């Protein structure tokens, strides 16, 4: 810093911090360290909100409590969220001072990721926070920056068109086309499980009523054409979304994107196997693999989660309530282990003369326990002894209680997720309406 006193004072939201010039020069916060290179008061005011030349005091109209925790990071190297402050607000303060999410502790990083995911925000960048003083100083530097900003805006617009069905009219049209292709692909999948057309052709016309539907070879040909068109659409959609994604690694890790790849890949594997001379469905192991890959196309239905609020709510609820789901599974598994052991003993172990063979082992009894606890009761396995029937009644009652305990938490989380996604959808609809009226 080429002017002012040797002691610099930072006034952040009314809290004052005094440092020497040497400390300011090597300060870990980029916005503060850049003050040392300022030669004029104009350059200083591009980095802070106000400047007192007499006191050499720099004023920052920022969150004072958040800066306290940021200063703790400067001193100790550990950065955590301020209690009671929104994670996104604190993250905005971090970006303002020149920090990133990588500076947060791992637990706080997870909280930030969950929060951003809950509101449908992939990431924040330094560009989301106005950093005065970052503007280029020459026209030669300004031109590339302007072109890059225009390209970034175009990529963001394309990304929202593919990722947010309610963000614009084009996004709604694209989502509708995608839903149509999903429905068509499911119809084709169902049609592919019908009896073989060659076998149907050898049967009598009265049995299969094929006389008015053309030859089976033509039907199979058209099914393959439609299937290829659907796969082509899904492949192009997934490729474009990958190319315009902000973070390619986060895109690859996203569950819905993984499902897209799982749904698309089997078609190309099937084509590769057919090209290698294994096109038939009855070629032993190869035929089994082909049938399994063909059935994996049912994952296309998961693509509907991008376009329907109900499926999005279900997915978000399951993600938020995974602890409750694990707790429910633990309850069921513990009860199943106890009741299956007792049922095997009462129905098979104690009655040596005429044991109930349906309870010959604990794993066999576990099937009866799980269908009893869930009150399904198929009737294929049932106790015949008095002790076994008493145990069955206890199993049913305890199953109702154990299943009902975590349901309250899951229900409230479902309602909260539904309202959040509904408000988000309404916000997009309002923005779309304003866009169409302009």
State whether 18 and 54 are in the same domain.
yes
Span between the terminal Cα atoms of the chain, in Å: 49
Is residue 174 located within the same domain as residue 243? yes
The domain that holds 327 is classified in CATH as: 1.10.287.70
Instruction: For residues 301 and 357, state if they share a domain.
Output: no
For residue 383, being part of any structural domain is answered with yes
Task: Give the separation between CA 233 and CA 284, rounded to whole angstroms.
Answer: 32
pLDDT greater than 70 at residue 147: no
Amino acid 213: pLDDT: 47
For residue 394, what are the CA distances in angstroms to 185, 211, 369, 375, 385?
47, 59, 11, 12, 14
Q: Are residues 57 and 18 in the same domain?
A: yes
Q: Give pLDDT, residue 84.
A: 76
Beta bridge partners, 104, equal: 79
Q: Is residue 205 part of a domain?
A: yes
Please give the pLDDT value at position 228.
Answer: 84
Do the domain assignments include residue 235? yes
Question: 124 to each of 60, 89, 131, how far by Cα in Å?
Answer: 22, 11, 14
pLDDT-derived band at 437, boundaries 50, 70, 90: low
* Least confident interval from 125-129, 352-356, 402-406: 125-129
Looking up residue 303, the CATH number of its domain turns out to be: 1.20.120.350
Task: Mean pLDDT check: name the lowest of 102-116, 184-198, 272-286, 419-433.
Answer: 272-286
Q: What range defines the domain where residue 112 resides?
A: 77-121
Q: Is the pLDDT of residue 299 over 80?
A: no
CATH for 38? 3.30.710.10
Statement to judge: residues 47 and 29 lie in one domain? yes
Which DSSP state fits 62?
A: S
Domain count across the chain: 4
Asked, for residue 409, whether it belongs to a domain, the answer is yes
pLDDT above 90 covers what percent of the chain? 7
Residues 231 and 325 in one domain: no
The tokens 């959609």 sit on which residue?
237
- Copy the structure tokens of residue 15: 């809290």
DSSP 212: T
Distances (CA, A) of 98 to 1, 8, 25, 340, 373: 19, 19, 15, 60, 56
Which SS3 state, helix, strand or coil, does residue 71 take? helix
Residues 345-354 have pLDDT tens digits of 888 878 767 7
Question: Who wins on pLDDT, 394 or 319?
Answer: 394
233/293 same-domain check: yes
Q: pLDDT band for 434, please (50, 70, 90 cuts).
A: low
State pLDDT tens for residues 51-90: 888 888 889 988 888 888 888 888 887 788 887 778 888 8
Q: Which residues contact 346 (CB under 8 A, 6 or more apart)?
A: 383, 385, 387, 388, 391
Question: What's the pTM value of the predicted model, to 2 decimals?
Answer: 0.49
The answer to the question of residue 256 being in a domain is yes
Which range scores top for mean pLDDT: 122-126, 278-282, 295-299?
295-299
Give the lowest-confidence range in 112-126, 130-144, 158-172, 354-368: 130-144
Residue at 162 is within a domain: no
Q: Which residue has the higher pLDDT, 39 or 141?
A: 39
Is residue 342 very low, low, confident or very high in pLDDT (cuts 50, 70, 90)?
very high
| 301 shares its domain with 196 | yes
Residue 340 located in a structural domain? yes
């Amino acid at each position: 810093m080429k002017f002012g006193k040797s002691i610099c004072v930072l006034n952040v939201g009314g809290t004052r911090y005094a440092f020497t010039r040497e400390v300011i020069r090597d300060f870990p916060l980029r916005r503060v360290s850049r003050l040392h290179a300022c030669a004029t008061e104009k350059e200083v005011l591009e980095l802070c909100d106000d400047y007192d030349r007499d006191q050499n005091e720099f004023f920052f109209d920022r969150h004072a409590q958040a800066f306290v925790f940021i200063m703790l990071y400067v001193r100790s190297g550990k950065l955590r969220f301020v209690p009671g402050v929104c994670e996104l607000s604190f993250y905005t303060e971090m970006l303002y001072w020149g920090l990133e999410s990588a500076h947060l502790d791992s637990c706080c990083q997870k909280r930030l990721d969950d929060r951003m995911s809950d509101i449908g925000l992939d990431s924040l960048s330094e560009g989301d926070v106005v950093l005065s003083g970052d503007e280029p100083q020459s026209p030669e530097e300004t031109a590339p920056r302007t072109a890059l900003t225009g390209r970034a805006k175009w990529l963001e617009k394309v990304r929202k068109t593919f990722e947010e069905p309610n963000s614009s009219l084009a996004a709604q049209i694209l989502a509708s086309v995608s839903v149509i292709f999903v429905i068509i692909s499911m119809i084709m999948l169902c049609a592919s499980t019908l009896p073989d057309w060659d076998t149907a052709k050898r049967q009598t016309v009265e049995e299969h009523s094929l006389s008015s539907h053309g030859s089976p070879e033509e039907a199979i040909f058209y099914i393959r054409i439609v299937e290829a068109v659907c796969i082509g659409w899904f492949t192009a959609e997934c490729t474009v979304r990958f190319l315009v994604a902000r973070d390619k690694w986060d895109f690859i890790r996203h569950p819905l994107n993984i499902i897209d790849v799982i749904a698309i890949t089997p078609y190309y594997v099937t084509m590769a196997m057919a090209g290698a001379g294994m096109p038939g469905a009855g070629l032993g192991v190869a035929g089994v693999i082909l049938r399994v890959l063909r059935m994996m196309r049912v994952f296309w239905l998961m693509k509907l989660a991008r376009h329907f609020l109900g499926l999005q709510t279900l997915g978000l609820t399951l993600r938020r309530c995974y602890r409750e789901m694990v707790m429910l599974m633990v309850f069921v598994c513990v009860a199943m282990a106890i009741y299956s052991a007792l049922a095997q003993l009462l129905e098979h172990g104690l009655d040596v003369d005429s044991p109930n063979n349906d309870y010959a082992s604990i794993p066999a009894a576990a099937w009866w326990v799980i269908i009893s606890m869930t009150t399904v009761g198929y009737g294929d396995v049932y106790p015949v002894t008095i002790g076994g029937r008493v145990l069955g009644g206890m199993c049913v009652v305890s199953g109702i209680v154990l299943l009902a305990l975590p349901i309250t938490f899951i229900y409230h989380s479902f309602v909260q997720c539904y309202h959040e996604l509904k408000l988000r959808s309404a916000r997009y609809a309002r923005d779309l309406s304003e866009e169409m009226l302009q």
